[in-house]
Amino acid sequence: MFNKIKNRKIRIAVVGCGRISKNHFGSIETLNSEYELVAICDNNPEVLEQHTNQYGVPGYLSIDELLVSESLDLVS
């Protein structure tokens, strides 16, 4: 039913860059030996640009575009 993830980090996207997102980003950074932030999604272009520049990952204004474009294991 589910494939186990072996020999690589878990690929994560964060959707929404509001107040609580700093906790998600911080957890991903803390556990960077196991998790990899690969994309960010937010509907505010200015906030999205700030976070994509800070984390060096692609940004999406639409969750539909994110899910079509990225290979993810987890969405937060």
Q: What digits encode the pLDDT tens for the residues 51-69? A: 999 999 999 999 999 999 9
Residue 1 has pLDDT above 80, yes or no: no
The reported pLDDT for the residue numbered 2 is 62
Long-range contacts of 61-68 (CB under 8 A, 24+ apart): 63/15, 66/13, 66/15, 66/39, 66/41
The mean pLDDT of 27-54, rounded to a whole number, is 96
Triad 60, 63, 66: Cα angle to 5°: 55
Amino acid type, 18: G
Record the pTM.
0.89
The structural domains of the chain, ordered by start, are 10-75 (3.40.50.720)
* pLDDT at position 45 over 60: yes
